[in-house]
Amino acid sequence: MRQRGFAAARVVTCDPSREGPLGTVQDGAVVFEGATLVFVGPRVQAPPDVPLVELGDRVVTPGLVDAHTHACWVGSRHEEYAARLAGADYRAVARGGGGILSTHRAVATASVDDLADSLTSRLRRMATLGVTTAEVKSGYGLEADHEKKQLRAIAIAAGRRGVPAVVATFLALHALPPAAGDRAAYVVHVARELVPEVARERLARFVDAYVDEGAFTTAEARAVGEAALAAGLGVRLHVGQFTDVQGAELAAALGAASADHLEHVSPAAIEALARAGTSAVLLPVASFTLGGAAPPVAALRRAGVRLVVASDANPGTAPTESLPLALALAVRSYGLSPDEALLGATIRAAEALGLTDRGALRAGARADLAVWDLPHEHAIVQPWGLAKTHLVLAGGEDIG
Ligand code: NIG
Ligand code: FE
């Protein structure tokens, strides 16, 4: 197969084996063959007979990895958003049958093709923003058939051309379905039947649960998390978005891949996450739209917890499709450094999804990269509000 490549003023590898916080190579080149990178380094060391497209002063980074999205949905929650701006509380709206249940009603009446089509469009727009891998959760179907329909829609969209690679997560406990008679019986059904079925049918790699006051308890999430582990799936949990109900402790105890949100988390839980190697997925768009607190980033950093930044793309708390917007808020509102934010959307995000073949530009990795119409990587975290990419490659194919 033919080798091809690029040369640019700055090749930001995010490879920890290189020097500097982002392993940046000045006057660098990347060469790939098919879906795989075969050379990353100084342009003068690039294989001599490979044609290099000249990118001039542009920056090349690994393709961005969005490690937390709820991008498979239909409908609109604009009325709820306006009501919240006028003072309504997210959890009160949810108790009144809005919020997650409002999107549940739209998803329950949608066909698998409707869902796959809206997700495909969203994924394509994400690609133009530099994203080459996106995690996508179910969680609006709530009932077995609709959850599986959502997961099938995710698989259909993932198989289409021009989209980022997709990692599917079964968001097993998000809200109690309106028709569920008995809460305990619902949790048992999800843990004993649905999780093993999803694993058997290979519909997801991870299982997630929303652990918070007004959502699910740690005992309920533990049942589902243990079922996931028994079925060979990984665990990631929504914890401490509104209240610390010790969801982060549970994430650490289960050896979860990530604990997400973490606005409310105790010092002891932070230590537990660090010991367990559980990544912290920070979702600044959600706390921005909710007018909520920032997570204790300094304490997480001090403890050595790996920091990931994700969009949380969803129709309610994070009505965005933009990981770069999340990066802009992560630096401005959460106090991450630009380098931390960029690592959190590349190598750290890939690690949190259990993916070792991407997130950094190095020989042998997937040819996933973004070329930015920007003179420096730190400009990526500025709040542009539109795509600043020149080119986006996923597995060596142009998707952006
Ligand atoms: O990550 N907090 C729970 N889940 C989503 C919001 C889902 C929704 O409001 O539709 C979140 O913020
Ligand atoms: Fe979420």
Provide the angle, in degrees to the nearest 10, between the axes of the packed helices 100-109 and 144-158.
Answer: 80
Same domain, 53 and 70: no
User: Is residue 59 within 8 Å of residue 376, measured between CB atoms?
Assistant: yes
Same domain, 251 and 316: yes
Ligand closest in space to the Cα of 316? 1
Among candidate residues 60, 39, 64, 128, the one with its CA nearest the CA of residue 343? 64
Report the nearest atom of ligand 1 relative to the CA of 103: 10
Residue 283 CA, ligand 2 centroid: distance in Å: 8
Instruction: Give 137: exposed, middle or buried? Use CB within 10 Å, 0-12, 13-18, 19+.
Output: buried
169 CB within 6 A, ligand 1: no
Minimum CA distance residue for ligand 1 atom 3: 210
238 CB within 6 A, ligand 1: yes
Question: Residue 181: its pLDDT value, please?
Answer: 85
Residue 385 CA, ligand 1 centroid: distance in Å: 22
Same domain, 127 and 247: yes
**Residue ranges making up the domain that contains 24:** 3-63+359-398
Report the nearest atom of ligand 1 relative to the CA of 241: 2
Report the nearest atom of ligand 1 relative to the CA of 210: 3
> What would the pLDDT profile of 310-340 be if each residue is shown by its tens digit?
999 999 999 999 999 999 999 999 999 999 9
103 CB within 6 A, ligand 1: yes
Same domain, 265 and 390: no
Same domain, 260 and 287: yes
Same domain, 81 and 52: no
Residue 316 CA, ligand 1 centroid: distance in Å: 6
Residue 317 CA, ligand 1 centroid: distance in Å: 6
> What would the pLDDT profile of 215-247 be if each residue is shown by its tens digit?
999 999 999 999 999 999 999 999 999 999 999
DSSP, residue by residue, 366-393: B--EEEESSSSGGGGGS---S--EEEEE
Residue 8 CA, ligand 2 centroid: distance in Å: 36
> What would the pLDDT profile of 343-369 be if each residue is shown by its tens digit?
999 999 999 999 999 999 999 999 999
Report the CATH number that the domain containing residue 174 is assigned in CATH: 3.20.20.140
Minimum CA distance residue for ligand 1 atom 1: 312
Ligand closest in space to the Cα of 75? 1
Among candidate residues 189, 178, 231, 185, the one with its CA nearest the CA of residue 207? 231
What is Dmax (Cα atoms) for the chain?
68
Same domain, 345 and 219: yes
Same domain, 241 and 285: yes
Among candidate residues 295, 292, 294, 299, the one with its CA nearest the CA of residue 272? 299
Report the CATH number that the domain containing residue 393 is assigned in CATH: 2.30.40.10
210 CB within 6 A, ligand 1: yes
Calculate mean pLDDT across residues 56-83. 98
Calculate mean pLDDT across residues 111-116. 98
Question: Residue 1: its pLDDT value, please?
Answer: 78
pLDDT of 43 above 90: yes
Same domain, 140 and 266: yes
Same domain, 295 and 229: yes
Calculate mean pLDDT across residues 147-161. 98
Q: Which of 317, 320, 329 is the pocket-test mutation for ligand 1 (most atoms within 8 Å of CB)?
A: 317
Same domain, 339 and 366: no
Same domain, 81 and 44: no
Q: How many separate domains does the chain show?
A: 2
Calculate mean pLDDT across residues 55-77. 98
> What would the pLDDT profile of 259-312 be if each residue is shown by its tens digit?
999 999 999 999 999 999 999 999 999 999 999 999 999 999 999 999 999 999
Ligand closest in space to the Cα of 287? 1
Residue 237 CA, ligand 2 centroid: distance in Å: 9
Question: Residue 14: its pLDDT value, please?
Answer: 98
Which of 352, 370, 389 terminates a domain? The answer is: 352
Ligand closest in space to the Cα of 68? 2
pTM here?
0.98
Calculate mean pLDDT across residues 91-117. 96
Average pLDDT score, the chain: 98
Calculate mean pLDDT across residues 118-128. 98
CA torsion, ordered 259, 358, 72, 98, to nearest 10 deg: 20
Question: Residue 237: its pLDDT value, please?
Answer: 99
314 CB within 6 A, ligand 1: yes
Minimum CA distance residue for ligand 1 atom 12: 317
